[in-house]
Structure 1
Amino acid sequence: MIKQKQEDLRGESCLVFHTKDQRVIHVVCSPKVEYLAIITAYLPAADQWSADFKVRK
């Protein structure tokens, strides 16, 4: 997990990432009582993130 927000407009949310075959994806999600809501998923731009894609420049 990269970042967790307790007071987001959509309620609690978090930014997670996954790497496979040197490709990184970021997913913003919000845990609900009965499901996990996926808010957005994107391929982060290398020029906007640190080398490990965990810290925005």
Structure 2
Amino acid sequence: MIEIEKILTYYENDKVFVTAHATERFRQRGIKTKDIRNAVKTGEIIEQYPDDYPYPSCLIIGETVDLKTIHVVMSDEGSSSRIITAYYPSAEKWEDDLKTRRRDK
């Protein structure tokens, strides 16, 4: 199970990496690196993906520097982390708390 403190330690030690694909998606969505860092700093892990390949990952909910709610998916690679994606959660997929996935009825 990934702990938010471990992800924060990776940030402190400059061990968080971003793929070119993720960087392009952030640009398309208007998300800046400082928003992601702030989201992790202010956030909490709301889902764990222990079976993700090649490394376990987790979903973090936090706030951008402009106090907008954002979701960030990050891996735990043992000695570093990778930002897989980040996005603004939509009301169609998430309950009002933006932490709980909507269930199809």
Structure 1 position 31, deviation (Å): 1.1
Partner letter of residue 49 of structure 1?
W
Task: Please provide the CA RMSD for this pair.
Answer: 1.6
1:1-29: CA deviation from partner (whole Å, max 9, x where unpaired)? 11001111232000001035551100000
For CA contacts below 8 A with separation 6 or more, give which structure has more relative contact order: 2
Moved over 3 A (4+): none
Partner letter of residue 43 of structure 1?
Y
The structure whose Rg is larger is 2
Q: Which of the pair is proportionally richer in strand?
A: 1
Give 3-state SS (helix, strand or coil) of 1:2's partner.
strand
Gaps in structure 1 of 5+ consecutive residues: none
What is the CA–CA distance in structure 1 between the aligned matches of 2:54 and 2:72, rounded to whole Å?
15
2:61 counterpart residue number: 17
> What is the aligned residue count?
57
Partner letter of residue 9 of structure 1?
Y
Give the structure-1-normalised TM-score.
0.82
Gaps in structure 2 of 5+ consecutive residues: 1-44
Candidates 34, 39, 46, aligned match of 1:2: 46
1:19-57: CA deviation from partner (whole Å, max 9, x where unpaired)? 355511000000123321100000111232111101111
Give the structure-2-normalised TM-score.
0.48
